[in-house]
Each structure stands twice: as C-alpha cells, then as structure tokens.
C-alpha cells in the first residue's frame, strides 16, 4: 500500500518549533504494530517529515480504575487489545520525530516540531 500523498523525502530539521497551530489531517499512511502487548503508531510528521513514533495509552487519562467505584462497576479493559482502530483514529498525535527543533527548549523541552495531527489511514502490521 502506498501513501495517498507522499511526504517530503528528507526530514526538515530546520523548521522552528510550532506548538500553537491547530491539528491538521495527515494524508500519510501510518503503521500500527504490537510487540509484547505494547502498541506503537509510526509515520511521517506532516510538517517536518520526520519519522514520528507514538505509544498511545490504552485508555485516556482519568478513565482508569479508582477505588470503591471500580469495585462496584464492571472493569474496563486497559490493554493493547483496547486500542481498536477506531480509538487510534479518533485521537490527536504530536510530532515525536526525536529532533529538538529550534525554539523547542532543547533536549529538555519537546523533542519534535510541535505539529499536531489526526490520521485517517492506519495499517496494522
């Protein structure tokens, strides 16, 4: 399967960090792999074209187990199996290309260009 809109061939490391722009749709195909119960979503950042890697949490923050309430209500699955395609396509992704773009705060700040996107093309491998 090929990407619907190929990203630039080289990583645009010279782009400054931009954490203020709204999320955009990425036309690229993202890959989803699972190893030892850990799900990883990889693909090119639509802004800087760096290879971005995300390990999504099985459940959104604040939806885990909490004391007595959890004992009274049915448990919600908190595993890699809970990361359905629907859930992976419904979330935002942030550039995690591994390169500290100018203005990102160096190695102590975010390691990526700051772009945020959502995906519509996901292939499980």
Per-residue pLDDT reduced to its tens digit, 85-119? 888 998 999 999 988 888 876 655 558 899 999 99
Among 50, 56, 48, which residue's Cα sits nearest to residue 78? 56
Let me know if residue 65 belongs to a domain.
no
Structural domain total, the chain: 1
Asked, for residue 3, whether it belongs to a domain, the answer is no
Is the pLDDT at 7 greater than 50? The verdict is no
113, two tokens: 């260009």
Q: Is residue 81 in a domain? A: yes
82 lies in some domain = yes
Rg (CA), the chain: 16
User: In which domain, by residue range, is 51 found?
Assistant: 24-60+70-124
Specify if 76 maps to a domain. Answer: yes
Question: Does residue 3 register a pLDDT over 80?
Answer: no
* Residue in the block written with tokens 């550039």: 95
Strands (E), 38-121: 38-44, 51-54, 93-94, 116-119
Residue 7: inside a domain? no
For residues 104 and 49, give the distance between their C-alpha atoms in angstroms, rounded to a whole number: 17
pLDDT at residue 67, as a whole number: 53
- 41-58 pLDDT per residue, tens: 999 999 999 999 998 876
CA torsion sign, 74 to 80 to 81 to 83?
A: positive
pTM, to two decimals: 0.72
In a domain, 95, yes or no: yes
Using DSSP's 3-state secondary structure scheme, residue 108 falls into: helix
In a domain, 17, yes or no: no
- pLDDT, residue 5, reads 42
**Distance separating alpha carbons of residues 24 and 124, to the nearest angstrom:** 22
């Amino acid at each position: 399967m090929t990407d619907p809109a190929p990203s630039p061939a080289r990583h645009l490391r010279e782009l400054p960090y931009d954490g203020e722009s709204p999320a955009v749709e990425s036309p690229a195909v993202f890959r989803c792999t699972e190893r030892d119960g850990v799900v990883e979503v990889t693909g090119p950042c639509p802004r800087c074209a760096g290879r971005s890697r995300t390990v999504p949490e099985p459940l959104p923050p604040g939806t885990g187990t909490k004391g007595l309430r959890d004992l009274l209500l049915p448990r919600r699955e908190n595993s890699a199996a809970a990361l359905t395609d629907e859930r992976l396509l419904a979330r935002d992704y942030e550039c995690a290309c591994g390169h500290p773009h100018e203005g990102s705060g160096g190695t102590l700040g975010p390691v990526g260009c700051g772009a945020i996107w959502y995906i519509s093309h996901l292939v499980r491998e």
